[in-house]
């Protein structure tokens, strides 16, 4: 299967299509994306990757037609290698059916593993640094514990509406609702209707 990419609708993919046809790709198996290579959204490429099976080969004219992001190239290359799918980059002479091409895939695999390890290490370092300064991971709550407790009391005592509590603390109603423990709230009593006998 072959994949092309053009950055705008005004660009013409004919050069890439012709190169893929000369490389033996059936016209029905050529898919064209119109998107910047840096964008994560590549619907045609995603479709091709899903359709490829072990023993198949993905063909592109150049690596920058596959992606402009090195990280994306590394991840995609590793995924193809692990699934037994080949990659043929026509104009740059990369073909994983050759020893040189397989070496390139091995390099991609090493880079991917290094990238994963760096991400994990940086995350651990950031969390450890935050803990040392008395902070914990996750988003900081918009209400402090004391404010949340006061909001609960006002809500349970029916002294203020949720909107009034939100205005009091300068937050949204959804934030107040998120902090309320309705299981501990005083149940709302139904209104009594007085019936007078004639």
Phi, psi angle pair for 51, to nearest 5°: -80, -25
Q: Dmax of the chain from CA atoms?
A: 102
7 is catalytic: yes
Rounded Cα gap, residues 188 and 112, in angstroms: 57
Bridge partners of 87, per DSSP, are 58
What distance in Å separates the CA atoms of residue 130 and residue 139, rounded to the nearest whole number? Answer: 12
Residue 189 has φ and ψ, to the nearest 5°, of -85, 135
Catalytic residues: 7
């Amino acid at each position: 299967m072959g994949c092309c990419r053009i950055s705008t609708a005004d660009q013409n993919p004919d050069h890439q299509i012709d190169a893929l046809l000369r490389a033996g790709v059936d016209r029905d198996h050529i898919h064209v994306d119109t998107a910047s290579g840096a964008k994560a959204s590549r619907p045609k490429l995603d479709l091709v990757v899903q359709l490829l099976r072990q023993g198949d080969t993905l063909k592109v004219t150049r690596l920058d037609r596959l992606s402009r992001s090195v990280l994306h190239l590394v991840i995609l290359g590793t995924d193809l290698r692990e699934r037994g799918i080949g990659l043929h980059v026509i104009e740059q002479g990369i073909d994983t059916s050759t020893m040189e091409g397989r070496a390139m895939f091995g390099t991609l695999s090493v880079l991917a593993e290094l990238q994963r390890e760096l991400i994990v290490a940086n995350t651990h370092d950031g969390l450890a640094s935050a803990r040392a300064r008395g902070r914990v991971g996750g988003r900081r709550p918009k209400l402090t514990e004391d404010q949340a407790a006061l909001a609960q009391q006002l809500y349970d005592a029916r002294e203020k509406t949720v909107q009034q509590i939100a205005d009091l603390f300068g937050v949204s109603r959804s934030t107040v609702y998120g902090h309320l423990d309705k299981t501990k709230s005083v149940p709302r009593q139904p209104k009594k209707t007085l019936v007078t006998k004639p």
